[in-house]
Every structure is written in structure tokens, then in C-alpha cells.
Amino acid sequence: MNFDVVIIGGGLAGLTCGIVLQQAGKRCAIINNGQAAIDFSSGSLDLLSRLPSGRLVEDFCKSYEALATEQPEHPYCILGKQQVLAKAQQFERLAAEIKLDLVGSHTQNHFRVTPLGSLRASWLSPNSVPTLALSEPFPFQRIAVLGIEGYHDFQPQLLAANLVKNTAFKHCELITGFLNIPELDHLRDNAREFRSVNIAQLLAHKLAFDDLVAEIKSAAKNAEAIFLPACFGLDDQRFFDQLKAAVGPAMFELPTLPPSLLGIRQHHQLRQRFEQLGGLSINGDRALRAVFEQQKVAKIHTQLHQENAISARHFVLATGSFFSNGLIAEFEQIVEPLFRADIIGCENFVPTDRLSWTANRFAAAQPYQAAGVAINAQCQVRKDGQFMANLYAAGNVIGGYHGIELGCGSGVAVVTALTAAEQILAG
């Protein structure tokens, strides 16, 4: 099989890159070996939430110089401020086109409510989740936080107790309660099946809609706003929007313990768009070995195509980090297993020195979390000290930054994915 571009990894970075390339007329294949990190995400995307010093980021533009000083290895600093801003804006337009139903802007972070009742700075969030400006109080006073009887991945009392500790919610009166949904009774017999995905699947086919609306209204009493676990609507947000319209008061959904319905929805919509544009998803396959010719990647062998290799003019590495085996920690070294690309990190991290991978303090940002492949400003991958002409990297497989600590993992994913696509189209 021969393609213009082969993308290894079908998560946020891989699909974003593939969609843009397909829109431009390239013939792309995405090799996807299973669930991606987006399936476990909150549904919100972070461009940059904190600086390495710990300072909260309100405006990316105003914080960029500090980031460049404090963590010069960060992919944003390699790409440059204007490139990051341009690609952030491009993704905002793409998200609107695909109808991901996101709110927010690269010009100003906002707070989103977490399922534990804290506030987290974000760039883009689903319009179904409760958000507020960084310096403003929540616009509703009486809030009902409602769980589902027997469902333990969302705890209304814990959320409510923590939420009122935030200045933005100090004026609020919170009540808690649980919904009794008879259609879910048989799921309660097996706790492992009583998850947001199973609930959404069952309710989509066996729900007495009017009874659910009446149950929510009764449990919420006279609340001005209602918080629910994200368990309503598997493939997209339409079911939740219908429920919201029928109930009346302002209604919001919150992500639960992974897997996250909000992330799964986005994954489904992105993959559907890629395939509608003619892209090929090779699901359940895993890239095993790359073949190089004249300082370029010529083809790759996969688990399902060990004899007949997959060739392309360009390759994009979007395999993620340790979670999805995009990086592997062997006893003596951290490696990128497919291309054996050069590995970098932050601070005093050395990929072949195991003692440098962890910090003495357990709660500190761990050096191994910043490990990943080295790239240049064109997102080309470095191997044996040289940048490969037709191999690009996108997303969490890239090193040089603490994505969790700084709140920038999804931002890096889309910015590098769009930069890689831009370079491929210009080549």
C-alpha cells in the first residue's frame, strides 16, 4: 500500500493532522493500535495553563516570553510565538467547522469546573460544561449537583463541598441528590459495567425520555443551574442538548473518571471527519519496524502487514507518550521504539541514566514525564543527530516539556500536528 502520508497514531494529534491533509487533497492513512489518550481526557483543551514557575497563565501572548526563559526546550519555544498563535487560531476554526461545540479563545484562558470541585484554567472547553472567566463569579446562585444512584465515578457531595471553597462559588447555595433511572438497574449488578460509556449506550436505546426529564426536575427542586455527570449522549452532544432543552434551567455536564464520555465524543467526531474526507483508518494495527533509504523513511512494517510494507512520501509520528507505548522505558534507557529517534527531556534528564528519570519529591513534576523525541521548528524528527527530511512528530511523543504540570498537552498536540501538516503541504 502506498500513500502520500502515513500517520502513526489516531489520537488528537494524528487525526487533526490527517483532517487538514485530507482537506488539501493528500491521500492519508492513520495506523491506530487502540484507544488514544483523548478517550480519557476531560474534553477541555489546554494551550498553556501554568508556567514552570507555577504562575497561572491568563493570556498566552503575555506569558510566552517567561515560558521561553523558564523552559526553552518547550516545543512552543522551538516553533516560535507567532507559529503557535497561528496554529491555535487555525484549530479554533477547524473545531468550529467540525462542530466540536467548544467555547474559549487563545486570547484568554477560562476556568472549567472539575469533577472534584476545583477550577482548572483551560483554552477550549465543551459548551456543555460549566465555565467562567478567570476573575468573575459563577453567574448562578442556586445549584443542584445530581449524581446517579449506584454510580460511583461521580460524587455530588464531594464536588459541592469543594466547589464552595472557590471564591467564584462562595455566593452559591448547593444542593445534592441522586437520579433514580430504572433502565440502569441491571448495570448495577456489575460495578465494572456501571461506567459512563455503558450508561450512555443503554440510555440511547432504552430510555423513557419524559420520565428522565421529570426525575431531573424533581431532584433539582428550584435550582437555577444543574450539574450532571457526563453520561448522556455517546457519539455527540445532541442527546444532552435535547435533555437540557426539555428540563428548563441551565444544565451542565461534568467529566467523570476515565474513560471520559466528553473525550470519546471528540474522538468519534474527529475520526468521522477524517474518514468522510476519504482518509483510511487502519484500526487494530501496530507499526513494528521502519525501513530507511537515503536519510528518509521509505516504508514501515506493521503487525497486520509484516510482508507487504506500507510506503509513503511523508510520515508523521503521533504515537503519544508512555500511556500508548509511543515511548518505552527499558531498564537502562527510554526509547522511541519505531524509528529510534533521539530522546530529549528537561533539566538534568538523561535518557540512558535511570537515576535522572525521577525527582526525589514524589509530588514534584517527574523528569521522565518530559521525555520525548527531539524536533526542529518544522517538527521534523531528529535521529542520530540529524533531522529526517520526511519524518515529522506531533503531540505527546515530543519531549522537552511537562504537559501535565503546565497544562499544555492538548495545545502541543494540535499546534505541532498543524505545523507538520503545513510543512508536508509546502514540500
In a domain, 180, yes or no: yes
Q: Is 132 exposed, middle or buried (0-12, 13-18, 19+ CB in 10 A)?
A: middle
CA–CA dist 256, 41 (Å, integer): 10
CA–CA gap between residue 5 and residue 21 (Å, rounded): 8
As a whole number of angstroms, the distance between CA 107 and CA 136 comes to 17
376 in a domain, yes or no?
yes
**How far apart are alpha carbons 68 and 170 in whole angstroms?**
36
Q: Tell me the β-bridge partners of 103.
A: 125
Residue 156 sits in the same domain as residue 238: yes
Q: For residue 120, is it within any domain?
A: yes
Q: Are residues 348 and 368 in the same domain?
A: yes
Of 102, 136, 170, the position where a domain reaches its end is 136
Q: List C-alpha distances in Å: 209 to 213, 242, 246, 414.
A: 6, 10, 10, 37
Residue 159 lies in a domain: yes
Question: Are residues 144 and 95 both part of a single domain?
Answer: no
129 in a domain, yes or no?
A: yes
The last residue of a domain, from among 218, 235, 259? 259
**Domain shared by 114 and 157, yes or no:** no
**Helical packing angle, 261-276 and 196-206, nearest 10°:** 70
Query: CB 175: neighbour CB atoms within 10 A?
Result: 16
Helix (H) or strand (E) holding 140: none
158: in domain = yes
Pair (148, 248) in one structural domain: yes
Give yes or no for a contact between 378 and 418, defined as CB atoms under 8 angstroms apart.
no
Q: Which residue range is the domain that position 234 belongs to?
A: 138-259
Look at residue 191 in the predicted model and tell me its pLDDT.
66
Q: Are residues 63 and 152 in the same domain?
A: no
What is d(CA 56, CA 406) in angstroms, rounded to the nearest whole number?
9
Instruction: Classify residue 205 as exposed, middle or buried by CB count within 10 Å of its CB (0-12, 13-18, 19+).
Output: exposed
Mean pLDDT in order along the chain per 10 residues (427 residues): 96 98 98 87 96 95 96 97 98 97 96 96 97 94 95 94 96 96 79 83 80 94 96 90 93 89 95 98 94 94 90 97 94 96 92 92 88 98 97 97 95 98 95
CA angle 374, 378, 381 (to 5 degrees): 30
Whether the CB-CB separation of 304 and 312 falls below 8 Å is answered with no
Alpha helix stretches (DSSP H) within 71-165: 75-79, 81-98, 156-163
Give the number of domains in the chain.
3
List the Cα angle 368/369/375 in 5-degree steps: 95
Residues 6+ apart with CB under 8 A from 276: none
Alpha carbons 217 and 28: distance in angstroms, whole number: 48
In a domain, 151, yes or no: yes
Specify whether 229 is located in the same domain as 149.
yes
Check: pTM over 0.85? Answer yes or no.
Answer: yes
Do 144 and 255 sit in the same domain of this protein?
Answer: yes
Task: Using alpha carbons, select from 334, 340, 380 the residue that is nearest to residue 353.
Answer: 334
Cα(20)–Cα(1) distance, integer angstroms:
21
What CATH code is carried by the domain that includes residue 183?
3.40.50
Domain presence at residue 31 = no
Domain co-membership, 106 together with 207:
no
Same domain, 334 and 405: yes
Neighbours of 19 (CB within 10 A): 25
